[in-house]
C-alpha cells in the first residue's frame, strides 16, 4: 500500500476482513472458512461499484498465503507474501480484468498457466474483475477447471452484473453479495477519515456526501477527497459550499417549486427553476431530483427521520408533509409518470434548459385539469392534446382518457420526428385488419407482418384507431414503426393504444386452432376409423391445404 498516496480510496483500502466497511457478516464468514480450512474452489463477489469486491478478493488472497496465517494477518509490518500481493508483483497471484480479456483464447492461456504449481505462495490464485464481460465460449472453457481445479488453485471472481453470468458458473462458486453500506455506518467511517486527514468539513456536508455516494465507499471517499481539496480560507466547509462543489441543490427548493406548480403560479415556478439552473445544476439532475421529491410526497407517511436517513432534514420533512396534504395520490402518480416520460426524452433535445422550462409549464396545466375536472380556460391545452369535449363531459373517465390522449400525442410526436417519407404515392384505404396485413405483404414489410400475425392480439380496429392487448412478445419498436408506415400509406395519423382487454387470438393461433379442429373432425369420420383399424400406429398429421 502506498501510504503517501493522495487518493483516499487507495490510501485507506482495507487490508484485513475487520476493516471492510459495511460487510461485517461477509468478513466473518470468509475469515471462519479460511481459519477452519473449508476453502471453496472459487469465490464470487457481487455488488455495486465501490462496495469492496476487489478489496475483499485481495484480502482473501493475502489470508490464504500470509506467512503468519489468517488469525495474524499482516496489517502494518507486511510479510513478503502480503507485500508482493499489495504491490501487485506476486508471480502466483494473477489479477486480470475480464473487460479486456474476454475471448476464449485468453481463458485457455489462463488454464494453461494454472497447470503449474505455485512458485513461492501456498496457493495460486486468479482474481478476475468484471467477470460478466467474458464471452460465452470463454465461460464454457472455464467450466471444467472451475469445478475440479488442482488443490493449489483458487479462483476469485468479482462482478457488478450477476444477470450476465451463466448459472453454471455461479453454481460452481461460493457466492457473496456485498450490500450497499448503511448511511449511518458510512457517515461514521467518513468522520473517522476526515479526522485522520485533519479535514475541516461540517457534519451536514458529510451527510450530503453519504447521500450522493448511494452506499458506495469508493464514491464517498472520492467526494470527500474533492471537498478536502478546497481551501476555504481556514473556515469549515459548510453544506451550502458543498452544494456548489458537487453541483447539488437543496431539496427544499424543489419542494417550493412543486408547491408553486400546485398553486398554478407560472412566474414563480419559472423563477425558482432559473435560480436552480443558474447555480450550476444540470437539467437532467433537476428532473431526477424532481422525481425523488414526488416519491417522498407519495410515501412521506411511511418515512421516519432517524440517524440512518440522511435524505431529508427536519425542515424538508415538515415541508413535504404539509405539501402532501394538498395533493391526492392520483395527482402525484400522474405527475410522476409525466416527469418520467419527459426524462426519457430529454437526451434528444439540444437545449435541455428550455426543455425543462416547457415541462414545468405543461405540468402547470396538467395539474389544473386534474384539480378542477373542467374544460374552462383549457382550450389551448385541449387543442395541443387533441382532447374532444366528450372526454370532459364524463368526469368519471377523465383521468383514464387524459392518459390515453397523452399516449396518442406521444405516438404522434414519434411519427413526426421520423424521417420524411421519400416515396410519395397515392394514399391507400385500410379499413380492416386483414387489409393491413395484405398491404404489409405487398409493401414487403415482412417484420411488421410477422409481428401482426404471430404476436399481436387485436381488440378493435376502426377510424384510424387500433387497440391491441398488451403482449410482452411484441417487438419494442413495433408501435412506432407501424404508426410511421400507416402515416406513409394512408396519409393519415393513426392511434395505436394498448388495452387491458384480452383481445382476439393471434393469426398464428387462429390458424392453429382451425387446423386442430379439422384434425379432430377428420378423426371422427368413417374413413379415418377404418384406416386406424388397419394401421393402429398411424397418426394424422396434416390435411390438404384447400380444406383449411
Question: 400 is in which domain, residue-wise?
Answer: 379-415
Q: Which three cell numbers stand for residue 188?
A: 461514521
Provide the CA 214 distance to its chain's centre, in angstroms. Answer: 15
Residue 449's SS3 state is helix
Specify the pLDDT at position 56: 92
Listed residues 227, 246, 265: the one ending a domain: 246
Domain membership of residue 421 (yes or no) is: no
- Of 162-176, 200-214, 357-371, which has the strongest mean pLDDT? 162-176
What letters, b where the CB count within 10 A reaches 16 and e where it falls short, cover 313-337? beebbebbeebbeebeeebbebbbe
List, in order, residues 6 or more apart from 29 with CB less than 8 Å away: 176
If asked whether residues 51 and 145 sit together in one domain, one would say yes
Distances, alpha carbon 32 to alpha carbons 70, 79, 469, 534, in Å = 9, 22, 55, 73
Give the number of other Cβ atoms within 10 Å of residue 91's Cβ.
11
Q: Within this chain, do residues 441 and 307 fall inside the same structural domain, yes or no?
A: no
Alpha-carbon distance 177 to 160, whole Å?
A: 10
Domain count, the chain: 6
**Residue 450 vs residue 279, higher pLDDT:** 450
426 within some domain? no
Cell numbers 388397419 correspond to 534
| DSSP reduced 3-state for 55 | helix
Q: Give the pLDDT confidence score for residue 548 in this predicted structure.
A: 42
Residue whose C-alpha cell reads 410482452 in the numeric block:
472
Query: In b/e form, how buried is each residue of 409-440, taking b as 16+ CB within 10 angstroms?
Result: eebbeebeeeeeeeeeeeeeebeebeebbebb
- In-domain check, residue 131: yes
Kindly report, residue by residue over 60-108, the tens digit of the pLDDT: 999 998 888 888 888 778 888 888 888 888 888 888 888 887 788 888 8
CA 526 to chain centre: 61
Q: How far apart are CA 15 and CA 57, in angstroms?
A: 11
Q: Are residues 163 and 223 in the same domain?
A: no
Please provide the average confidence, as pLDDT, over all residues in the chain. Answer: 79
Residues 261 and 226 in one domain: no
- 510-530: average pLDDT: 81
| Dist. CA 256–CA 322, nearest whole Å | 11
pLDDT above 90 as % of the chain: 9
Residues 406-420 have pLDDT tens digits of 444 445 444 444 444
Helix axes 329-345, 398-417, angle to 10 degrees: 0
Q: Is the pLDDT of residue 369 over 90?
A: no
Residue 255 and residue 235 share a domain: no
Residue 262 lies in a domain: yes
Q: Give yes or no: residues 159 and 287 share one domain.
A: no
* Statement to judge: residues 260 and 331 lie in one domain: yes
CA distance 270 to 548: 65
Instruction: Give which of 78, 93, 86, 82 is closest to 5, Cα–Cα.
Output: 86
Among 126-130, 373-377, 434-438, 515-519, the least confident range = 373-377
> Is residue 16 located within the same domain as residue 156?
yes
Task: Tell me the whole-structure pTM to 2 decimals.
Answer: 0.58
The reply to whether 51 and 18 lie within a common domain is yes
> What is the longest distance spanned by two Cα atoms in the chain?
104
Domain co-membership, 355 together with 401: no
505 DSSP 8-state letter: P
Residue 2: inside a domain:
no
Give the model's pLDDT for residue 512: 84
Q: Are residues 167 and 192 in the same domain?
A: no
Q: Which residues pair with 462 in a beta bridge?
A: 465
Instruction: Residue 328: give its domain's CATH number.
Output: 1.20.272.10
The C-alpha atoms of residue 521 and residue 437 are separated, in whole angstroms, by: 29
Which of 225, 246, 267 represents a domain boundary (last residue)? 246
Q: What is the pLDDT of residue 190?
A: 92
Do the domain assignments include residue 154? yes
| pLDDT single digits (tens) 421-454 | 444 446 788 888 888 888 888 888 888 888 888 8
Identify the pLDDT of residue 135: 86
Answer yes or no: is 134 within a domain: yes
Q: Span 468-478, mean pLDDT? A: 76
Amino acid at each position: 500500500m502506498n501510504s503517501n498516496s493522495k487518493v483516499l480510496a487507495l490510501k485507506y483500502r482495507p487490508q484485513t476482513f475487520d476493516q471492510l466497511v459495511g460487510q461485517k457478516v461477509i468478513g466473518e464468514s470468509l475469515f471462519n472458512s479460511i481459519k477452519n480450512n473449508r476453502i471453496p474452489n472459487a469465490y464470487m463477489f457481487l455488488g455495486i461499484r465501490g462496495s469492496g469486491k476487489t478489496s475483499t478478493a485481495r484480502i482473501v488472497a493475502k489470508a490464504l498465503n500470509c506467512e503468519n496465517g489468517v488469525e495474524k494477518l499482516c496489517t502494518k509490518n507486511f510479510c513478503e507474501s502480503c507485500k508482493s500481493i499489495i504491490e501487485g508483483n506476486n508471480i502466483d497471484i494473477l489479477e486480470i480484468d475480464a473487460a479486456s480479456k474476454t475471448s476464449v483464447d485468453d481463458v485457455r492461456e489462463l488454464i494453461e498457466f494454472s497447470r503449474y504449481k505455485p512458485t513461492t505462495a501456498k496457493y495460486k490464485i486468479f482474481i478476475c474483475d468484471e467477470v460478466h464481460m467474458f464471452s460465452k465460449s470463454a465461460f464454457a472453457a472455464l467450466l471444467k477447471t472451475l469445478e475440479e481445479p488442482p488443490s493449489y488453485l483458487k479462483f476469485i471472481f468479482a462482478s457488478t452484473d450477476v444477470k450476465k453470468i451463466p448459472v453454471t458458473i455461479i453454481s460452481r462458486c461460493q457466492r457473496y453479495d456485498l450490500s450497499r453500506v448503511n448511511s449511518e455506518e458510512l457517515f461514521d467511517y467518513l468522520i473517522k477519515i476526515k479526522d485522520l486527514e485533519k479535514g475541516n468539513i461540517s457534519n451536514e456536508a458529510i451527510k450530503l456526501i453519504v447521500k450522493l455516494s448511494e452506499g458506495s465507499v469508493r464514491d464517498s471517499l472520492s467526494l470527500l477527497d474533492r471537498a478536502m481539496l478546497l481551501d476555504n480560507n481556514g473556515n469549515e466547509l459548510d453544506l451550502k459550499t458543498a452544494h456548489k462543489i458537487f453541483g447539488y441543490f437543496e431539496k427544499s427548493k424543489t419542494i417550493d417549486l412543486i408547491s408553486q406548480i400546485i398553486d398554478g403560479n407560472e412566474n414563480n415556478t419559472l423563477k425558482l427553476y432559473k435560480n436552480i439552473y443558474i447555480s450550476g445544476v444540470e437539467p437532467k439532475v433537476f428532473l431526477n431530483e424532481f422525481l425523488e421529491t414526488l416519491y417522498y410526497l407519495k410515501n412521506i407517511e411511511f418515512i421516519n427521520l432517524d440517524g440512518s436517513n440522511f435524505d431529508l432534514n427536519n425542515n424538508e420533512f415538515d415541508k413535504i408533509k404539509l405539501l402532501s396534504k394538498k395533493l391526492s395520490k392520483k395527482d402525484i402518480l400522474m405527475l410522476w409518470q409525466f416527469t418520467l416520460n419527459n426524462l426519457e426524452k430529454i437526451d434528444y433535445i439540444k437545449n435541455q434548459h428550455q426543455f425543462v422550462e416547457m415541462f414545468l409549464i405543461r405540468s402547470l396545466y396538467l395539474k389544473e385539469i386534474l384539480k378542477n375536472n373542467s374544460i374552462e380556460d383549457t382550450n389551448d391545452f385541449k387543442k395541443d392534446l387533441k382532447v374532444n369535449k366528450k372526454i370532459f363531459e364524463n368526469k368519471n373517465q377523465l383521468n383514464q382518457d387524459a392518459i390515453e390522449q397523452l399516449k396518442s400525442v406521444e405516438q404522434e410526436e414519434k411519427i413526426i420526428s421520423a424521417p420524411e417519407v421519400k416515396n410519395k404515392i397515392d394514399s391507400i384505404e385500410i379499413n380492416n385488419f386483414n387489409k393491413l396485413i395484405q398491404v404489409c405483404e405487398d409493401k414487403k414489410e415482412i417484420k411488421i407482418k410477422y409481428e401482426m400475425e404471430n404476436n399481436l392480439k387485436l381488440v378493435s380496429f376502426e377510424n384510424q384507431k387500433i387497440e391491441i392487448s398488451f403482449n410482452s412478445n411484441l417487438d419494442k419498436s413495433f408501435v412506432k414503426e407501424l404508426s410511421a408506415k400507416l402515416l406513409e400509406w394512408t396519409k393519415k395519423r393513426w392511434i395505436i393504444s394498448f388495452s387491458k382487454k384480452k383481445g382476439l387470438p393471434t393469426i398464428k393461433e387462429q390458424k392453429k386452432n382451425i387446423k386442430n379442429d379439422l384434425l379432430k373432425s377428420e378423426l371422427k369420420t368413417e374413413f379415418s376409423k377404418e384406416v386406424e383399424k388397419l394401421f393402429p400406429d398411424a397418426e394424422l398429421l396434416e390435411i390438404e391445404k384447400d380444406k383449411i
